[in-house]
Amino acid sequence: MKNFAICYNKTIEHSVEVMSELREILRQNNVSADALDIDELKNGYDFVFVIGGDGTILKAARFYAKFSTPIFGVNLGRLGFLSQSSKEDIKISVEKILKGRFFVEERIMLQSGDKIALNDFVVKGTTTGRTSRFSLKINGKLVCDYLADGIIVTTPTGSTAYGLSAGGPVISPALNAFVIVPICPHTLTARPIVIPDNEVITICSDKDLTNYVASTDGQEFYEFVQEIEIKKSQYTAKLALLDGVEFYSVLRNKLHWGISPAKI
């Protein structure tokens, strides 16, 4: 690796100073790196450090997926589920990366038109405070109709995000699958569905309501009228992970998965 960049989100507290600290650590190891604002990303790098919360990492992942560039997250947010390092451990993390003690994990992504998402696509009606009607098709065949607040189509990476909050399952990122999760469905029989990642999902809007909105990773919003088609993207996100870090330990440490209540 020759060309490094540090992507930071200046709207997040301490982001600029952590970027400067990271740049200095790299300089001490005879490595130079360009500093990039999250809203002014550029191509041409072999490896990119991303400083911020999960939102910053998601935005960088969508951009650099198109160039097959690995990214490494340094958490300054609340949860930091996608990040590998805290600001306190940044020196140790950089030393491991420069010594090659990391691996790159490819994560499947979703695509609709020219939009891609690492976590999820969320479809909702624009009428605030009311449920909307959706028809779900898989590979062109009707599956069911939903009367709900919305529908989440999530990757395994995104299964620990909005999909989990809406009652969906946690899916290992090693699986090639997507999850379809209705949001607050107005029925007791609507449950999340796990499907293979080679199937095409179509969500059709109610003919009486023309304004529906879709979002990618909760960051890019756009309206559609009749239907939206969502499928596996040709791109994959390249997440740099430190040796010894695996999915289940992240579940335990960051989501406190399966931890018994403390004794009184």
Q: Which of 34, 54, 149, 208 is catalytic?
A: 54
* Residue 85 near residue 71 (C-beta atoms within 8 A): no
Assigned domain for 50 exists = yes
Query: Which CATH number goes with the domain that contains 152?
Result: 2.60.200.30
pLDDT score, position 101: 93
Do 88 and 147 have their domain in common? no
Assigned domain for 256 exists = no
List, in order, residues 6 or more apart from 17 with CB less than 8 Å away.
none
Query: Which CATH number goes with the domain that contains 62?
Result: 3.40.50.10330
pLDDT score, position 197: 97
Active-site annotation holds for 54: yes
Do 76 and 173 have their domain in common? no
pLDDT score, position 261: 64
pLDDT score, position 210: 63
In the chain, the number of structural domains is 2
pLDDT score, position 77: 66
Assigned domain for 258 exists = no
Do 92 and 118 have their domain in common? no
pLDDT score, position 263: 55
Which of 100, 128, 160 lies at the terminal end of a domain, its last residue?
100
Assigned domain for 248 exists = no
Assigned domain for 140 exists = yes
pLDDT score, position 126: 76
Q: Determine the Cα–Cα distance for residues 7 and 32; give it in Å rounded to an integer.
A: 14
Do 160 and 226 have their domain in common? yes
pLDDT score, position 211: 77
pLDDT score, position 73: 93
Do 94 and 116 have their domain in common? no
Six-digit token string for 27: 């300089």
Do 119 and 155 have their domain in common? yes
| Positions of the chain with pLDDT under 50 | none
Which of 100, 132, 157 lies at the terminal end of a domain, its last residue?
100
Do 182 and 75 have their domain in common? no
Residue range 8-67, pLDDT digits in tens: 999 888 899 999 999 999 999 999 999 999 999 999 999 999 999 899 999 999 999 999
pLDDT score, position 167: 95
Domain span at residue 67 reads 4-100
Do 96 and 115 have their domain in common? no
Assigned domain for 228 exists = yes
Assigned domain for 155 exists = yes
